[in-house]
A and B are shown apart, each in its own frame.
Chain A
Amino acid sequence: MAASIAVTANYVLQPPPYALDALEPHMSKQTLEFHWGKHHRAYVDNLKKQVLGTDLEGKPLDHIINKTYNNGDLLPAFNNAAQAWNHEFFWESMKPNGGGKPSGELLALLERDFTSYEKFYEEFNAAAATQFGAGWAWLAYANDKLKVVKTPNAVNPLVLGSFPLLTIDVWEHAYYLDFQNRRPDYIKTFMNNLVSWEAVSARLEAAKVASSSSA
């Protein structure tokens, strides 16, 4: 089973690793105030209420996610638990003055598994743009391969046995204040100006260690 990387905080609303206005002009402070301050906060608060007094209480977040995923027949706490996890992972996938191209081992693997960085970009962009309704697009690592995955609503690659490395939130609340219906522009801005390749590289390292130790 895939170990959770980095995001293990138990039901605490962690602030993003930058000020709420630090991603401007690419992602506005107003968006962060709502997205982090209301949506993400509500998932955490509601999760706490939901697990209180049950045998899920006090368990690590990724444990709750895998248990309540229940092979696709979702149990009540799944949506809140997974959304709490997904959002923390999302804030950490970005940084001020992000974007550009990855380097080192990560770039090598992207070129190996997608032929080129441009091809990866295209595929990630397409996944994010075509996830109909609410959901997420991911770069994930499994069986020593990188792949692009798109998921609906709160689902994430942990439940598929993969290590998430990067995500973009394509629920409308993620981009509506800044881009309204223009999701393709949001995705482009995310890729060109926000993504933190350092974070992705660090996660890849952790994923390789975790998968070799559990092999």
Chain B
Amino acid sequence: MMTVAVTAISSPLLLHSQGPNRQLLQWKRNEKRRLPTKVAGSGVITAGFELKPPPYSLDALEPHMSRETLDYHWGKHYRTYIENLNKQIVGTDLDALSLEEVVLLSYNRGNMLPAFNNAAQAWNHEFFWESIQPGGGGKPTGELLRLIERDFGSFEEFLERFKSAAASNFGSGWTWLAYKANRLEVANAVNPLPKEEDKKLVIVKTPNAVNPLVWDYSPLLTIDTWEHAYYLDFENRRAEYINTFMEKLVSWETVNTRLEAAMVRATQREQEGTYTEEEANPDDEEPEVYLDSDIDVSEVD
């Protein structure tokens, strides 16, 4: 009589957690909140996330990503995540928060609250549209290229690893290039002050709606490998989709801008002393760590 949801994974290994969410929210609170909008007819003012159009028209990515795909992917899938999210959070504590805040809070250390899937997918898709552009592709330049070469050996080596991660992400999910300014190798850890050499670019693949925000990484680039992202244009040929994405679509400008912002943020946090040794180790114990063993995150080194 019971409907059972099965996951082929063991339950999360919980040591304790200082609540990285609390620290993350401290600086994210500075980010712009959405403005409340009036709901027609009901007289009730409520905040609602809006469906943002991509920064190009729906046919502008042809022939590499068809207008038909954008019509469905943006016009149906993404729209539905936003609409369902709004319905889910109206009148709750999550209602007045920014999208990032909703994602972080509803992630709930891996024990996701109902709003997480919609919130994270709303965030991921907006990030995805902005990761691509008409006439995209080519190679990155400047600081971004320097860091890619430093952390992956060469741009070609990075490309191979990124493509391989995206191709091998079984089921639905995303592959990311992210900037990680954490000392520890484990996700979700309370982060002691990172040194320069701890800060680096990483490739991460995530399942379903999960994204690297939840581990306090700064996402720089993403590719959507849910089948709905490529089925109309490539059917089962995911590898071809990934090649096209890298060669013709990726917006290195945007990635570069995001990297600059991520590096500035990391510096600011250090200066503000968001990480303090006392806070992390109140009783001189080992740093408290929450291990997300229920999420198969492969950080591709």
Contacts and interface: CB of A to CB of B under 8 A. Distances in A.
Interface centre among B1, B2, B77, B227 (most CB of A within 10 A): B1
Interface stretch (A19-27, A49-57, A147-155): A147-155
Interface in A101-146: 113-114, 123, 126-127, 131-135, 145
B245 interface: no
B172 A172 contact: yes
Contacts of B1: 113-114, 145, 147
B231 A134 contact: no
Interface string B1-27: 111111111100000000000000000
A29 interface: no
B199 to A, nearest CB: 32
Contacts of B117: 132
Given A126-B3, A148-B3, A171-B227, A132 B208 contact: yes
B236 A34 contact: yes
Given A38-B235, A133-B207, A180-B72, A74 B3 contact: no
Interface residues on B, range: 20 to 34
A176 B171 contact: no
Interface string B171-205: 11100000000000000000000000000000000
A177 B228 CA distance: 10
B227 A176 contact: yes
Interface string A49-88: 0000000000000000000010111100001000000000
Nearest to A115: B1
B291 interface: no
Contacts of A151: 6, 8
Contact of A177 (B2, B10, B172, B231): B231
Interface string A144-174: 0101111111110001100000000001110
A208 interface: no
Contacts of B208: 132-133
Interface residues of A, number: 39
A151 B3 CA distance: 11
Given A34-B235, A38-B236, A150 B6 contact: yes
A33 to B, nearest CB: 9
A159 B3 CA distance: 17
A176 B8 contact: no
A206 interface: no
B113 interface: no
Nearest to A134: B171
B10 A72 contact: yes
A160 B6 contact: yes
B232 interface: yes
A179 to B, nearest CB: 11
Contact of A181 (B2, B8, B228): B228
Interface of A: 34, 38-39, 42, 69, 71-74, 79, 113-114, 123, 126-127, 131-135, 145, 147-155, 159-160, 171-173, 176-177, 180-181
9 contacts: A39-B236, A133-B171, A133-B173, A134-B172, A153-B8, A176-B231, A176-B232, A180-B72, A180-B76
Interface of B: 1-10, 72, 76-77, 80, 117, 170-173, 207-209, 226-228, 231-232, 235-236
